[in-house]
Structure 1
Amino acid sequence: MTLLELAADPAAWAALITLIVMEVVLGIDNLVFISILTNKLPEEQRTKARRIGISLALIMRLALLSTLAFLAGLTATVFQLPFSPPVGADGHAPFDLAFSWRDLILIAGGLFLVWKATTEIHHSVDPRPSEDLLDKKAPVAMNFGAAIFQILMIDLVFSVDSILTAVGMTDHLPIMIIAVITAVTVMLVASEPLANFINNNPTVVMLALGFLLMIGAVLIAEGFGVHVPKGYIYGAMAFSALVEGLNMASRNAAKKREGQ
C-alpha cells in the first residue's frame, strides 16, 4: 500500500493515532530514567545529555524498524531450561522457561533498573553523607560518559519493547516510522520541563525511583513470560502522582498560611 493510499484510509489513521498514543506512553518510562540520570550531571551538561539520550532512542527505534526480519528473530526461542515450571489451578504454568533474545534483553534491562533504583533509594535514605540525587549540596556522582552509557543501555531495552509493540499493532512501516518519530519528538519537548520538575521537587525524585523499581520488576516478569497489563502499571503510577500532587498542594498551602 502506497503512502497516498494510506493517507486516504481511515483505518490507517486510526492505527496511527492509537500507535502514537501507545508509543508516547511507553516512552514515559524511558524519559523518567533519562531525567533522573541527567540531573546528576553538572547543570551545564544536563540539556546536552538529555538530547543525546533521546536522539539515541530515536536512532535505535528507527534502526530496529529497518530490520524487521531481525526483529522476528528476537522473539524466536534461543534456549529453554531443562525443567518445567509448576502448573497452576487453571492447568497453565504461571511463567515460561523458554527464552528469546527479547526476553533476555527485557530481563537484563529490568535487573539494571531494579539495581539502579534500589541503589539511589539506598543512598537517599542512608543517614551518612553520600552523593545522591536528593542532596543538592553533594558533589556530582557521575560523569558525562557514564551517564550516556547508562542511557544507551536502557534506550536499547525500551526501544526493543517499543518497536515490538508497534510491529504487533500494524503491518505498515510508514505508520510505525511516523508514530515513533512523533513519540520521540514529544519526549524531546517534554524532557526539559520534566527534568526540572523532578530536580526541584525532591519527594518527586523518590516517587520516580519507585516507578523505575516497579517498571524494572515488570520487565523481568515480561522476560519470564508473565504478562502484566500495562493499564494497571500506568494506573498505579497516575494514582501515585495524583497523591503526590495533593501532598505538594497541601505543603504549599501550609507555607502560605505560615507566611500570613
Structure 2
Amino acid sequence: MLDLLASPDAWAAFLALVTLEIVLGIDNLIFISIVAGKLPEGARDRARKIGIGLALVLRLLLLAAIAWIVGLTQPVFDLGIQGAPGAYGEPTFDTAFSWRDLILIAGGLFLTWKATSEIREKLNPHETATGKPRAGTAAFGTVLFQIIILDLVFSIDSILTAVGMTDELPIMVAAVVIAVGVMFAASGPVMRFVQANPSVVMLALAFLLMIGMVLIADGFGRHVPKGYIYSAMAFAALVEGLNLLARRRNRRLAAKHDAAPAG
C-alpha cells in the first residue's frame, strides 16, 4: 500500500478513476432522484439514503468478487446470426452474449420502460388506471426494489470500468468510496431541485430513456462512447438552466410590475 502512495502512476490512475466513477454515478443519482420523488415527502430522504448506501455496498461486494466480475465478460452463448455489415464492414451487432451483456440489456429495457411510463404519467397527470398509484403515493418497497435493480446494473458497469483502468484493488476501493460519497453529498440538493422544477423532471426522464437505450446497445456489442452521452446531457442541462433563469427573471419582473402603484 505504501508503494502505491509513492507512485505517481497510482495517483494518476486514482484521480482518473474517481472522476470517471463520479461521472458514471450521475445516471444512478438521476434515477434515485426520480423514483424517490414518487414517495410521500417524509419517506423520500430515507429512500435516497438507503439507495445510495446500497449502491456503495453492491460496489464493494462486487469488488470483493472481482474474479467473478471479470468472468462476466466471457461469452455464454452465441446465436450464430450475422448482422448486416456496418459502415466499416463489421457486423452491426454482436451475437455472442456474456452475462454482462444480458444484465445490461435487461437493465436497459427496465430503464427504458420506467422512463417511458414516467413520461406518460407526466403527460397524463389526471389519468387513473386501475391499480396505478397516484404521484407521491408509491409503495416504499416497490421504489426500493427498483433502486436495487438499477444499483446492480450501474454497479457492474462501474466495477468493470474500474477493472479496465487499474489492477490495484485498494485504488478501486478508494475511488468507489469517494465517488459514492460525492453522490451522497449531492443527492439531497439534486433531488430537491429536480422535484421543485417539473421541466427538469422531464429532462431527467429523457436522460434516463437515453441511458436505457445506450445500455441496450452496449449489451448488443454497439458501444457508444460515454463522452458523446455526457456531452449531450451537459448541453441539454445548460439549455434548461438558461430556461430556468429566464423564467425566474420573468417572474421577478411580473412581481415588480404587479407591486408597482397604478397611474
Q: Does the TM-score normalized on the shorter chain lie above 0.5?
A: yes
Shift of 1:141: 3.7
Equivalent residue for 1:218? 214
CA RMSD after TM alignment: 1.2
Equivalent residue for 1:140? 136
Alpha-carbon distance between aligned partners in 2 of 1:90 and 1:234, rounded to the nearest angstrom: 25
Which one has the largest radius of gyration?
2
After superposition, the Cα gap between the structure-2 partners of 1:22 and 1:127, relative to the gap in structure 1 and judged at 3 Å, is closer
2:30 equivalent among 22, 25, 32? 32
Equivalent residue for 1:19? 17
CA contact (8 A) 1:123 1:130 kept: no
Alpha-carbon distance between aligned partners in 2 of 1:167 and 1:240, rounded to the nearest angstrom: 31
Equivalent residue for 1:83? 81
| Structure 1 unaligned residues grouped into runs of 5+ | 132-137
Q: Which runs of 4+ in 1 moved over 4 A?
A: none
Equivalent residue for 2:111? 113
After superposition, the Cα gap between the structure-2 partners of 1:126 and 1:15, relative to the gap in structure 1 and judged at 3 Å, is same
CA contact (8 A) 1:29 1:212 kept: yes
Alpha-carbon distance between aligned partners in 2 of 1:129 and 1:99, rounded to the nearest angstrom: 40
After superposition, the Cα gap between the structure-2 partners of 1:98 and 1:242, relative to the gap in structure 1 and judged at 3 Å, is same
Alpha-carbon distance between aligned partners in 2 of 1:92 and 1:84, rounded to the nearest angstrom: 10
Equivalent residue for 1:73? 71
Alpha-carbon distance between aligned partners in 2 of 1:46 and 1:98, rounded to the nearest angstrom: 41
Equivalent residue for 1:135? none
Alpha-carbon distance between aligned partners in 2 of 1:139 and 1:57, rounded to the nearest angstrom: 25
Matching of residues 171-250 of structure 1 within 5 Å: 171-250=167-246
SS, match of residue 79 in structure 1: strand
SS, match of residue 145 in structure 1: helix
Question: TM-score scaled to structure 1, two decimals?
Answer: 0.94
After superposition, the Cα gap between the structure-2 partners of 1:126 and 1:139, relative to the gap in structure 1 and judged at 3 Å, is closer
Equivalent residue for 2:157? 161
Alpha-carbon distance between aligned partners in 2 of 1:142 and 1:182, rounded to the nearest angstrom: 31
Shift of 1:181: 0.2
Q: Aligned AA for 2:151? A: D
2:55 equivalent among 20, 45, 57? 57
CA contact (8 A) 2:217 2:223 kept: yes
SS, match of residue 97 in structure 2: strand
Over residues 136-180 of structure 1, what are the superposed CA-to-partner deviations in whole Å (9 max), with x where a residue is unaligned? xx5534111111100000000000000000000000000000000
Alpha-carbon distance between aligned partners in 1 of 2:126 and 2:197, rounded to the nearest angstrom: 21
**What percent of counterpart residues are identical?**
59
Alpha-carbon distance between aligned partners in 1 of 2:79 and 2:229, rounded to the nearest angstrom: 29
Shift of 1:88: 2.5
Shift of 1:183: 0.4
Alpha-carbon distance between aligned partners in 2 of 1:225 and 1:236, rounded to the nearest angstrom: 21
Alpha-carbon distance between aligned partners in 2 of 1:49 and 1:153, rounded to the nearest angstrom: 14
Shift of 1:89: 4.2
Q: Aligned AA for 1:45? A: A
Q: Aligned AA for 1:103? A: D
How many residue pairs end up in the alignment? 252
Q: Aligned AA for 1:192? A: G
Over residues 190-244 of structure 1, what are the superposed CA-to-partner deviations in whole Å (9 max), with x where a residue is unaligned? 1100000001001000000000000000000000000101001000000000000
Matching of residues 87-106 of structure 1 within 5 Å: 87-106=85-104
CA contact (8 A) 1:64 1:71 kept: yes
2:120 equivalent among 119, 122, 139? 122
Alpha-carbon distance between aligned partners in 1 of 2:149 and 2:125, rounded to the nearest angstrom: 30
Q: Aligned AA for 2:7? A: D
